[in-house]
Each structure stands twice: as C-alpha cells, then as structure tokens.
Amino acid sequence: MTGIETLKRIAVEAGEIVRRGYHSRKEVHHKGIVDLVTQYDVETEKYLLDALADAFDGYTLVGEESYRGEYELERAIYIDPIDGTTNFVHGIPHLAISLGIWEAGEPRMAVIYNPILDELFWAERGAGAWLGEERLHVAPDRELQNALIATGFPYAKVNRGPEYRWVVDAFSTLLPQIQDFRRLGSAACDLSYLARGIFAGFYEIDLKPWDVAAGILLVQEAGGRVSNLDGEPYRFGDKGIVAGNPEVHQQLLEQLPQYTNN
C-alpha cells in the first residue's frame, strides 16, 4: 500500500535536484518584486508531480509553481518544491521540500525534507511526528517570556499596506514579551523546528497551502496546536496562522493584534 515510506522516498529523491542546484549557478527570475523562482524550483516540482502522480492515484496535486485552481479539495497533495527559495539563491541552508497529504479538510501524511542539512521530518495522523527515527515533542516552555518564537514576513510588505503594518505591530508588541525572535525564511522549516521543540511558537500571515500543509501535521502530532488568528482551526485562505505548544499558542493568540484590511 502506498504510504508514508513512499512519500519519504520521493522527497529524498527530489532532494538530489535541490542539492545539485544549491551548489550550482542559478537562473533567478522574479514572480513578484521580492518573490524569487529558479530553474531548480521548476525542475524539482516537475519531478515531484510525476512521481506523486504515479504513486498516489486520485489526488489533486497542488504545486506552488504550476497549480492555478482552488485550494479546498477532497483529496490533495500540497507541494512546495523549495520552501525558502531566497535562502536557496543566497546559499543559506534553511530550505525544504514540503509535501502534505490532506483528505476531507484534514492532514493525513507529511514530509518536510531539508536536503542541505539532511533533515527528514515526517508525520502520519495518529502515529506521531518524527525526525528520522527520533520522535518529536513540542517545547515544554509554559511562559511566553521564555519562548523562542519564529515568524516570517509577507511579500506584500513592499507595498507598506495593512500586511506590513500588522507585521510591525505584532513585532513591536511581542518583542519585549518573549525570549527572542528567529526568522529562518521558510515556514516549513519553522514548523519543523517547532515540532522538534526548538521553537515554542510561530506565527505568520499571507501563507499559501503548500507553505504549511505538511508543517501543520508535524506540529499537531508533536503535541502542539495550530489555529488562525481568531483561535479557530486553520483553513487554507485564512489570513494568519498561529502555532505553538498549548501554553505558548494561547498566549500568542492573546497578544497578537487583530488583522484589519485598511
């Protein structure tokens, strides 16, 4: 039966392309003012689409570089060929292939693979979250003041609109109340490290399904919580995502500003 071992194998095989590209000259194009794509994003996604189509029949394949449909699907695999392309371009090793299988609105299987650091995170619904053979658990921090928090900045920041103002407000509010911030430049890596217990919390706005589809299950299976900014179950299309161990997640929700589109 096709399952998590197949998903892991496909991610590791695709990682060969990413690793080769990381150490090679890249053709960099702009999807937006600061949103980059390289030939290796495209090549990796093509490999993933072909391999997943062969192995997982009956799923819609939602790839960052090629999909142009709706996100709420009955059976789908959400694919980010290189989450952290800016890091990839600049030679920073925090990046990942992210594969999340969802059915009926719930995550079922997840793999996040960093081929540069050779970190293979994976999870199955009800079977825990893992880094290789190591079972993962969220950090034990109970107080926000002791928590290391991960976040990221939306591409829309360049417009200095409501997304930019929300990020600045959130940063200003939280910075005195936490141990510190970290910004790795990859939501998949952030959520993996949250599941591993390195970060105690994470929040961001304007993310796409392929950024978080796998990481959500990792955090949940490691004992953490994931929601939107209102504390409700996160759904693709929600403006913001908040994750953490149960105590820090709740404290983040209490401190983060509400988002208003004006």
Domains and CATH numbers, the chain: 4-135 (3.30.540.10), 144-255 (3.40.190.80)
Q: What is the average pLDDT across 151-168?
A: 90
- Model pLDDT, residue 1: 42
Q: What angle do CA 169, 172, 176 make, to 5 degrees?
A: 150
Residue-by-residue DSSP string for 99-140? EEEEETTEEEEEEEEETTTTEEEEEETTS-EEETTEE-----
Please give the Cα distance from 198 to 220 (Å, whole number).
Answer: 15
Give every CB contact of residue 240 below 8 A, 6+ residues apart in sequence: 203, 204, 205, 228, 229, 256, 259
> Which residues lie across from 97 on neighbouring strands?
113
In this model, does residue 88 exceed pLDDT 80? yes
User: pLDDT tens for residues 21-45?
Assistant: 999 999 999 888 878 899 999 999 9
Q: How far is CA 8 from CA 22, 110, 116, 121, 167, in A?
A: 20, 9, 16, 9, 34
> Percentage helix, strand, coil, to 5, in the chain?
40, 25, 35
Say whether pLDDT at 262 is over 80. no
Give 233's DSSP letter.
P
SS3 assignment, position 165: helix
| pLDDT reported for residue 90 | 97
The amino acid sitting at 61 is L
- Give the rounded percent of residues in the chain with a pLDDT score beyond 90: 92
pTM: 0.95
Average pLDDT over residues 184-201: 98
Contact criterion met (CB below 8 Å) for 136 and 222: yes
